[in-house]
Structure 1
Amino acid sequence: MTVNLPQLRAFLAVVDAGGFSAAAAELGMSQSAVSHAVASLERELSAPLLVRATPARTTALGERVLPHARLAVSAARSVEQIAASATETMSGIIRLAATPTVCQGLVPRLLRHWREDQPRITVRVFEGDSAEATTWLDDGTADAAILIDPEPGPGIQLAVDGYRALLPRDHPLAGEPAVDIRDLEDDQFLISPNGCEARVRTIHKLAGLRFDPTHRVRDLATLISMVQAGIGVTILSEVSRTLVPPDLVLLPLTPETSRRLVLTGPQARPWHPALRTLAESAANHLARTTSQSNV
């Protein structure tokens, strides 16, 4: 039995992209070449790994093979990048997972910096909720993630992200320098359950209020639109400020609470060398930005 890396890469690309056509575009290959690579892997294993459907999905055997394929491809990429780093030609693709608010509010600035500072490294973003980002990092779907309040470990703290009240500009409290959540008790409260609900519950608990949201909205754009429509108010993090339209205001909130946004890699396996380069680049950028803002 001879299993090779191109076969494993093709298999993973089909799984991650959801089909052979999308996998071909991801790999820069023809669709027939991807199909041939996966078919040859299945012949080597004497059983199908994928159900050819839309989207493509793994068979029972494919599901068992998947984590090992990820580890093998990840290890090979690490070897390649270690060699590249020795000759100062760091390059490659890093798959970065983050939550919607982080993807929309923080990641674009990071991508712009990395494109200028490390043009040979390509960063591809995977957007999901906090649990998905952690799972993708653990199972190898992602090489890196921006996690919210992770356990102590290696990583670069990108921001301490405070929570704010999001109100329409015609709200009676919109002109105040800050808002006490107790003063919003009579407003209908909207919540997005994507990772922040536990912290919003904590804010209510600190204020001695019962947490009883009127609406739960998964999509951030929908949440903001509902506040625009006057349906209620909500709490967002400071990193969301760039997403706030001009007819809404984002105001400091008491009781105060915040979250840490940390760029990190997997805990159970070595980091991709290109990720270490990106982390160092981000740390240097943050240090320069902080130094300039203190002048």
Structure 2
Amino acid sequence: MTVNLPQLRAFLAVVDAGGFSAAAAELGMSQSAVSHAVASLERELAAPLLVRATPARTTALGERVLPHARLALSAARSVEQIAADATETMTGTVRLAATPTVCQGLVPGLLRHWGEDQPRITVRVFEGDSAEVSGWLADGTTDAAVLIDPPPGPGIQLAVDSYRALLPRDHPLAHEPLVDLRDLEDDPFLISPNGCEARIRTIHGLAGLRFTPTHRVRDLATLISMVQAGIGVTVLSEVSRSLIPADLVLLPLAPRTSRRLVLTGPQDRPWHPAVRTLAESAVGHLARTASPPSPLPEEGVAQPSPQHTL
């Protein structure tokens, strides 16, 4: 049996892109070449790995092969980047996962900086809720992630992100320097049921309030539009500020709470060298544009790592 990296690369591309045509565009190959690569892998394994449907999905065998294929490609990319690092030329693609607010509020500035500072590294962003982001990093779908309040470990703290009240500009409290959550008790409360919901529940608990949202919406843009329309109020983090239109205000909130946004690679295997380079680059960028980030245990950025928005 001979399984090679191009076969695994084609298989993963079809799984991640959801079909052969999209995978071909992603890989810069013809659709027939992708189909041939996957078919040859299936012949080697003597069983189908994919159900040819829309979208394409894995068979039971394909699901078992998937994590091993990811790790194999991740290891191969690490070898390539270690060699590139030895010649002081950092190249390659880093897959970065983050939640919607981080993707829309924090990541664009980092991408712009990385594009100027590390032009040979391509960063592809994947957007998901907190559980998806952590899972993608753990199973090798992504090489790096911006995690929210992760346990102690290697990484770079990008920001301490405070929670704020989001109100229409004509709301009676819109001109207050600080909004107490208890003063919003009579307003319909809107929530996006992602990773922030647990923290917003905690804020309600600290204020001695029951958490009884009137509406739940998944999409952040929809949530903001509903506040614009006067349907209710909500709580968002400071990193969302760049997304807030002029007819809304984002105000300091009591009780005061915040979250840590940490750029990190996988915890249980070496980091892809390009992730280490991006993390070190982010430290310098944030030190120049705001207060310096806090490196989490010193060995964090010094560790290499292996490698699916924002």
- Whole-angstrom distance in 2 between the partners of 1:229 and 1:28: 44
The alignment partner of 1:269 has SS state of coil
1:291 shift after superposition: 6.5
Unaligned runs of 5+ in 1: none
Query: For residue 134 of structure 1, what is the amino acid of its counterpart?
Result: S
| 1:49 alignment counterpart | 49
| 1:252 alignment counterpart | 252
- Whole-angstrom distance in 1 between the partners of 2:287 and 2:190: 36
| 2:277 alignment counterpart | 277
1:139 shift after superposition: 0.8
Q: Which TM-score applies when normalising by structure 1? A: 0.97
- Whole-angstrom distance in 2 between the partners of 1:19 and 1:208: 50
Is 1:15 aligned to 2:1, yes or no? no
Query: For residue 273 of structure 2, what is the amino acid of its counterpart?
Result: P
1:289 shift after superposition: 2.6
- Whole-angstrom distance in 2 between the partners of 1:212 and 1:61: 44
| 2:59 alignment counterpart | 59
| 1:91 alignment counterpart | 91
- Whole-angstrom distance in 2 between the partners of 1:213 and 1:228: 17
Cα deviation, 1:27-82, whole Å, max 9, x if unaligned, reads: 11111111111111001001110111111100010000000000100000000000
| 1:225 alignment counterpart | 225
Query: For residue 42 of structure 1, what is the amino acid of its counterpart?
Result: E
1:207 shift after superposition: 1.0
Query: For residue 100 of structure 1, what is the amino acid of its counterpart?
Result: P
The alignment partner of 1:186 has SS state of coil
Cα deviation, 1:223-266, whole Å, max 9, x if unaligned, reads: 11111111110000000001101110000001100000000111
| 1:210 alignment counterpart | 210
Choose between structure 1 and 2 for higher RCO, CA contacts under 8 A separated by at least 6 residues: 2
- Whole-angstrom distance in 1 between the partners of 2:286 and 2:112: 13
- Whole-angstrom distance in 2 between the partners of 1:166 and 1:284: 31
| 2:299 alignment counterpart | none
Query: For residue 192 of structure 1, what is the amino acid of its counterpart?
Result: S
Query: For residue 159 of structure 2, what is the amino acid of its counterpart?
Result: A
Question: Matches of residues 151-166 of structure 1 in structure 2 within 5 Å?
Answer: 151-166=151-166
Cα deviation, 1:158-203, whole Å, max 9, x if unaligned, reads: 0000000000011000011110111111111111111111111111
Moved over 3 A (4+): none
Query: For residue 37 of structure 1, what is the amino acid of its counterpart?
Result: A
| 2:37 alignment counterpart | 37
Query: For residue 154 of structure 1, what is the amino acid of its counterpart?
Result: P
- Whole-angstrom distance in 2 between the partners of 1:163 and 1:150: 17
- Whole-angstrom distance in 2 between the partners of 1:268 and 1:26: 28
| 2:298 alignment counterpart | none
Question: Matches of residues 21-170 of structure 1 in structure 2 within 5 Å?
Answer: 21-170=21-170
Query: For residue 221 of structure 2, what is the amino acid of its counterpart?
Result: A
Query: For residue 16 of structure 1, what is the amino acid of its counterpart?
Result: D
Query: For residue 177 of structure 2, what is the amino acid of its counterpart?
Result: P
- Whole-angstrom distance in 1 between the partners of 2:286 and 2:167: 30
Query: For residue 182 of structure 1, what is the amino acid of its counterpart?
Result: R
Question: Matches of residues 172-211 of structure 1 in structure 2 within 5 Å?
Answer: 172-211=172-211
The alignment partner of 1:40 has SS state of helix
**Aligned-pair Cα RMSD in Å:** 1.0
Query: For residue 69 of structure 1, what is the amino acid of its counterpart?
Result: A
Q: Which TM-score applies when normalising by structure 2? A: 0.93
The alignment partner of 1:287 has SS state of helix
Count of paired positions: 292
| 1:264 alignment counterpart | 264
- Whole-angstrom distance in 2 between the partners of 1:164 and 1:207: 14
Unaligned runs of 5+ in 2: 293-310
The alignment partner of 2:239 has SS state of helix
Cα deviation, 1:77-102, whole Å, max 9, x if unaligned, reads: 00000000000111000111100000
**Matched-pair identity in %:** 88
The change in CA–CA distance for 1:287 and 1:175 in structure 2 (over 3 A counts) is: same
1:290 shift after superposition: 3.7
- Whole-angstrom distance in 1 between the partners of 2:217 and 2:31: 38
- Whole-angstrom distance in 1 between the partners of 2:269 and 2:65: 18
Query: For residue 20 of structure 1, what is the amino acid of its counterpart?
Result: F
